Structure 1
């Protein structure tokens, strides 16, 4: 009788262990998210972006091209990229789209170096303070370790308000009054101005993403520059 009880106890332990090791069911998400796709790969490839084997780029994207926001199903999805019709090596990964969130995904890195990567951000589309605009800065420049950016409408300003933004990183949104602005970019800790872009007009109530694109000392078509995205 004691042996039987021991066997029953042992079986219960095994069942309990197996139950504990069973993976919990994957959470189901309902609804949709919004997605904007940007080609930040500084090479001559036409890129198409796929979610669960469905193309989300009806027109292939050249370098610095972007698409408007589109709805995608919320939940965990498989994403990958094709370059000129061929699936990019190691470009597939799972991505969780949360319902009612807005995302920008930059396809970045260098395909020729087998180093394609995704830079994703949740976009805050809440209205700025009345009478102001919101602006953030994102670094997608593959060969820049870290960048500083000065965004201003006063030529006397010298303090870089976006500092130490590494590759694949971005700042929070900052608020500015409407007007015509310029942006200067240098490597963090450096003195040489790599980009000096002027006549950037921002309007009250609008939200903008400034993104460093291209390469430091790149060729003419892929030299470091600043792109501007309208978030709303």
Structure 2
């Protein structure tokens, strides 16, 4: 049984937002705004302690614990140095230089066991779903769990053959309530029952 293992199912509903721009007839020179990207950090290492997040050596979040996340943080686009430190210390457990594109959204997962913690960086496609649809992404973040299938209770495979650190892009599904099972891809035995 893998009841203590962590498998994430992310369900994202995205709604359209209208923006209106105002024009200014005055000839004034405004400073060019700095290009921004959006980054969310997720503590996904079950046995790791709380951590602090630093972007270019500036603290961006403190005492993030499993399985919480920072929400999206706006950071300057371009190459950013991201560090994850043991909370309240200068001990860096993850360090990565991330190339972040303007107006893009990213999730950085701190994954694996504490002794081998590492970053998993994914770009988040937050495109609006079609009417009556929801966008769903599955990410396998349990280091000791087998390769899995995500199925309906009747065995129909929704996402198939996903190994540790593997992910499935945001996928349109009919909006509604699903009872999903996580099954060992090799044996078809049920590992976890998840409601979404």
TMscore range, shorter length: 0.7 to 0.9
Going from structure 1 to structure 2, the CA distance change for 1:92 and 1:108 (only over 3 Å counts) comes to: same
Alignment of 1:79 with 2:76, yes or no, is no
Classify the secondary structure of the residue corresponding to 1:106.
strand
Q: How many residues align?
A: 163
Alignment of 1:56 with 2:60, yes or no, is yes
Classify the secondary structure of the residue corresponding to 1:60.
strand
What TM-score do you get using the length of structure 2 for normalisation? 0.76
How do 1:72-221 residues align onto structure 2 when only pairs under 5 Å count? 72-88=75-91, 91-111=94-114, 113=115, 115-150=116-151, 152=152, 155=153, 157-198=154-195, 200=196
Q: CA deviation at 1:88?
A: 4.6
Structure 1 unaligned segments of length 5 or more: list them: 1-29, 201-232
Residue 43 of structure 2 corresponds to 39
List, as ranges, runs of 4+ consecutive aligned residues in structure 1 with deviation greater than 6 Å: none
Residues 80 and 87, structure 1, Cα contact 8 Å, conserved in 2: no
C-alpha RMSD of the superposition: 1.8
Which one has a larger percent strand, Structure 1 or Structure 2? Answer: 2
Residue 70 of structure 1 corresponds to 73
| Bigger Rg, structure 1 or 2 | 1
Q: CA deviation at 1:75?
A: 0.8
Which one has a larger percent helix, Structure 1 or Structure 2? Answer: 1
Residue 11 of structure 1 corresponds to none
Classify the secondary structure of the residue corresponding to 1:107.
strand
Residue 7 of structure 2 corresponds to none
Structure 2 unaligned segments of length 5 or more: list them: 1-33
